[in-house]
Structure 1
Amino acid sequence: MRAAVVTEFGGPEAVRIVDAPVPEPAARQVRIKVEAATLNPVDAGVRSGGFGGAGTQLGLGWDVAGTVDAVGVASAWQPGERVVALQYGVAKALGTHAEYVVVDTDAVAKVPASVDVVHAATLPLNALTAAQALDLLDLRPGQSLLVTGAAGAVGGFAVQLAAHAGVEVTGLAREDDEELVRSLGASAFVTDGTEGGFDAVLDAAVLGERALARARDGGAYAGVIPQAEPPSVRGVRVAAVEVAADGARLAELARLVDDGVLTLRVAETVPLEDAQKAHARLAEGGVRGRVVLVP
């Protein structure tokens, strides 16, 4: 099968398409024939060496949507089922940017019925990150939340999930993103982040201390890069999410897609063999929605 990998760190040109054996599922695993796989900033981080692993082959891709085509012993899934999944890991030989991928059975959920497979592929990593970051903040209906990077993939999901839960959401993004952010459910919009006093901040833009400063005394802050959160000040509870594969939670998020609560945004699709071009597009910045690779 074909797979996108890096063996040397660098820019988009470091991405290679290689031939690799089709992986076999072990007990409590499934193999998915990939129909769509999202390109995320974490893939650029792996490609550039941000997570280490020099001298080894590193597979790219965390998100997948496709069809189960083989199962191991004690799997809860059957061949032919359409699914989405998160394959966690920055140091794996093969990722989801491939023609087939093996994942744990409890990382899998059914594809949302209301969207096509390309849009479905944008759900797992970013929606799970947003949901699990909101778990860390533990907000109640009526409390206030600032979401930085509110027009991005994680930030957009966070706005929608928090607003759906009755939280008063303020979105921080660029001025020309105001209409989008408000359409996602933000009741207020800011561009400079100078307003403060929020019960919590979800820092999807990775502003660090600048975002933390917007939380009220004794409030809460959640970052999206593990071990990269700023130190606590003024009694603000500080944490960072390390996303975990969770098929049950992913199924809940898929239902919210079907209920119209979550919006899946695709910027463009790119053939797997043109993965370098997809990385170059991501590196340009300003992408609204995700670039999705199609084998």
Structure 2
Amino acid sequence: MRTQPQPPSPTTAPAQMNAVVLDRFGDEDELAVRRIAVPELGAREVLIRVSVAGVASWDAEERGGHYDGVFGIPSRFPYILGWDAAGTVAAVGTEVTRFAVGDRVYAASMPVPRGGFYAEFGVVDEEHAAHLPEPLSMEQAGVMAWDALTAQSGLELLDLRPGQTLMVFGASGGMGHLAVQLARHRGIRVLAVSSGADGVALSRAQGADAVVDGRTQDVLAAAEAFAPGGIDGALATAGGPAAERALRAVSPTGRIAWPNGVHPVTSSAPAAPILRFDGDRSRAAFDRLNAVIAAGAFTPHVAQRFPMARVQDAHRALREHYIGKLALLVADDEAAPGSPAHRP
């Protein structure tokens, strides 16, 4: 018996949209806002009307062409950045079962080959989206998916027990400040290696058991005081000589989780083994993350907000010191006068 074709999904999307595009790779001056076609929707995809997109360090790398061809797919212009977003469902593909038009969602996408979330609309496979958890704002959810899921994957890889010790290197950054909260939810004792007085304050507010400023203080001495027998595990969210030195504090019987894409990689091997990994953005991973969020012990920190017209400023801010995450306010109501985008 033949099944009847499904009717098309109702949609709240126009034919065209405003998007931040690249016509070639380069610096932030190559970013421009203009009208382009709304992406077509596949059978298992969700079309999201984007409210907030995350602006992350890897966006700058991608903007410069450093990801060109790495996914085995040629880059196509106009090119749209943006791996994280939150918004409302504008349409669903004919095989989508978990979402309906109007649902509030957040997602972890990949800009190649369909385009990212620096746009009024973006598509993502339903596997890589989730309903917006009730405790979080649209802004908080919009900036966090990839970093939170990657931090979660690293902690699952380390598999530390409650009461064991963890060093989070880069604990006030995008991934690091989320990792601190996820680890505390697991009952792990956290030594946060943060950056600057504001970073130290953030890690303390998030419940880290001990905090050290990696810029000005002796991390190894702090680690020795925190865990005299050596740290049980570490999550490295930033690389470089300071990270290499700090990771010497991990016990030879411990392990170090190092996300793929964190640079520069170590030039010398610490005593503990380094486990390199990718973030899990499956439906099951989203479900595990949402369970933590529902417990009420998770708050992404948004340091700065930029309307889409100021996307170049957002990318310039990536070169400066900041804690937590940067947000691109895509929807008109998010960038209206009086909104967070217009706060000094």
| TM-score for both structures, normalised by structure 2 | 0.78
- Helix, strand or coil for the counterpart of 1:254? helix
- Helix, strand or coil for the counterpart of 2:207? coil
CA drift of 1:257 comes to 2.7
Q: In 1, Cα distance between the equivalents of 2:51 and 2:123?
A: 14
CA drift of 1:284 comes to 2.2
Q: Is the 8 A contact 1:63 1:122 kept in 2?
A: yes
What value does the CA root-mean-square deviation take over the aligned residues? 2.3
- Helix, strand or coil for the counterpart of 1:212? helix
Aligned AA for 1:158? A
Deviations 1:152-196 (A, max 9, x none): 121111111111111111000135132321221211112242235
Aligned AA for 1:186? A
Whether 1:210 and 2:245 are equivalent positions in the alignment is yes
Deviations 1:264-291 (A, max 9, x none): 2122322223211211122223244323
Aligned AA for 1:18? R
Q: Is the 8 A contact 1:122 1:265 kept in 2?
A: no
Q: In 2, Cα distance between the equivalents of 1:173 and 1:193?
A: 10
Q: Is the 8 A contact 1:38 1:121 kept in 2?
A: yes
Deviations 1:202-256 (A, max 9, x none): 1112245334322111311112334865378466221223223223322332343
Whether 1:85 and 2:111 are equivalent positions in the alignment is no
- Helix, strand or coil for the counterpart of 2:133? coil
Q: Is the 8 A contact 1:140 1:167 kept in 2?
A: yes
> Could you say which residue in structure 1 is the equivalent of 2:26?
10
- Higher relative CO (Cα under 8 Å, sequence separation at least 6) belongs to 1
Deviations 1:51-75 (A, max 9, x none): 2359742320011111111111220
Q: 1:245 to 1:20 in 2, by over 3 A?
A: farther
- Helix, strand or coil for the counterpart of 1:202? strand
> Could you say which residue in structure 2 is the equivalent of 1:23?
39
Whether 1:263 and 2:299 are equivalent positions in the alignment is yes
Q: In 2, Cα distance between the equivalents of 1:226 and 1:181?
A: 23
Count, aligned residues: 294
- Helix, strand or coil for the counterpart of 1:236? coil
> Which range is displaced more, 9-18 or 98-107?
9-18
Partner residue of 1:224 out of 254, 259, 282: 259
| TM-score for both structures, normalised by structure 1 | 0.90
> Could you say which residue in structure 1 is the equivalent of 2:219?
193
CA drift of 1:263 comes to 0.8
Q: 1:85 to 1:55 in 2, by over 3 A?
A: closer
Q: In 2, Cα distance between the equivalents of 1:79 and 1:39?
A: 26
- Helix, strand or coil for the counterpart of 2:319? helix
Q: In 1, Cα distance between the equivalents of 2:65 and 2:169?
A: 26
Q: 1:190 to 1:251 in 2, by over 3 A?
A: same
- Helix, strand or coil for the counterpart of 2:130? strand
- Helix, strand or coil for the counterpart of 1:213? helix
Q: Is the 8 A contact 2:219 2:246 kept in 1?
A: yes
Structure of higher CA gyration radius? 2
> Which range is displaced more, 3-12 or 275-284?
3-12
- Helix, strand or coil for the counterpart of 1:159? helix
Percent same amino acid among aligned pairs?
A: 35
Q: Is the 8 A contact 1:32 1:102 kept in 2?
A: yes
Q: 1:252 to 1:55 in 2, by over 3 A?
A: closer
- Helix, strand or coil for the counterpart of 1:284? coil
Whether 1:181 and 2:197 are equivalent positions in the alignment is no
Whether 1:124 and 2:150 are equivalent positions in the alignment is no
